[in-house]
Each structure stands twice: as structure tokens, then as C-alpha cells.
Amino acid sequence: MKNIAALLVIGSLLISCGEAPEKKNDQNTDSNVKPQSSEPAKAAVSADYSSLLLNYECDMTAAEVAKIFNIPEADIKPIETNLPGRCDFEIQGFGKNALGGTAMRWGMAPFSKANSKKEIQSRLKDKENDENIFGMDIELSETGDCYITITPHVGRVNILNENYDGAFYFEYSQRGIYKRTEEQHAALTEKTIALANYLLKKHRK
């Protein structure tokens, strides 16, 4: 009987030792592991961007652009244009063609609130599902109330806000149009996003 009792005690200890780690692991799982959401950030209530999205007049100097792009002011040259609501500059250092450096332009574009909302939702869904192609992307602006869409394979960045019947675009052309390396094109995309954020902050009311 003593032997049987001893065996039962040893057996219960072995079972307890086997169960303890499982309970500890369960506790660690509950306290340390948190579900991670890949849902993109949502825009806050919008400020007033009427002067940018609806009534823009080119208000950028070569000095401002040079500071954002971190290049000498001598590498920025304004291009005369008769088109209202648009800026045109020739920028050196990001590739060139027979006509000169990169021709950049930005300004207003007609775009309905419904189309802005549709485009934002579509881009956010693609981002959440990791289905972006050709490097297309969307990100929340630094002001937190607009979206910036990036379409690098055609050299375009847009500012969208579903509260406005208007959008804002930046064009710097496809890489193949210029003698531009992949690294130069990526850098130009990043500088253009920085320019978009700069203008949003400048016109925010």
C-alpha cells in the first residue's frame, strides 16, 4: 500500500510539473501578445484648404523649392506658363533629357468629392491587403487630415481630400523620359511628397 501511495504522489507531482508550463505560457500569451492591426491611419476632421485645392495661384519661389529638395537654388529655374493655378520649374540633379533638367509642375485638378472618396477608399483597401502594384501607395499627410497618393511609375503624386471638389497634383514624369537612375527617381518621389506636405502646412487654415 505504501508503495502504491508513493507512486500516486510521484505521479501527481509529475502531472503538476507538466501542467505548470502550459498555464504559464497561456498567461504570457494573454498578457504580452496583442493583435496587430494593419488598417491604415484615418484622416482627422479637415482644416480649410480652399486656397490650395480650389483657388491655388503659384506661390512658390525657387528658394523655397531648393530648400525642400535640399539642392542649390541655382539648380531651380522657374518656367513661364500662362496656365492659371499651376507652378512650373526645371530642376537639376534628378536626371535630364535633351531639353534640360526635370520639368516639374504642380497645381489644381478638377476632382469631385465622390471621386476623391472612391479613390481614397480604393487605395487604402489595396494598402491594407498589400495589393499595391508598380509601387503605388497612399499615406496620411503630416497635417493628418488629407491623403497623399503616390504613383511613381508615371511620376505623379496627388493630394486628396473628400471634403473638396478639387484635388492637387504634382508631376515629374516617368523615369524613361529622362536619363534618370532608379535611385534618382525614388529620391524625386520622396522630395515631391515632402513638397506636398509643405504646401498643405502652408495653406492650412
**pLDDT value of position 10:** 37
Cell of 122: 480604393
- Given a cut of 50, whether residue 142 has pLDDT beyond it is yes
Least confident range from 60-64, 105-109, 133-137: namely 133-137
| Number of domains the chain contains | 2
Q: Which of 79-83, 158-162, 174-178 has the largest mean confidence?
A: 158-162
Q: Please report, for residues 97, 108, 129, 175, 189, the alpha-carbon distance to residue 152 in angstroms, rounded to integers and kept in the order given.
A: 19, 19, 19, 9, 7
Report field, pTM of the whole predicted structure over 0.85: no
Rounded Cα distance between 17 and 86, Å, is 74
Rounded Cα distance between 10 and 156, Å, is 73
Task: Let me know whether 74 and 154 are in one domain.
Answer: yes
- Given a cut of 70, whether residue 197 has pLDDT beyond it is yes
Task: Let me know whether 64 and 8 are in one domain.
Answer: no
Q: Provide the pLDDT confidence category of residue 31 given band limits of 50, 70 and 90.
A: very low
- Given a cut of 80, whether residue 183 has pLDDT beyond it is yes
Task: Let me know whether 129 and 169 are in one domain.
Answer: yes
Domain that holds residue 6: 1-34
Residue 114 lies in a domain: yes
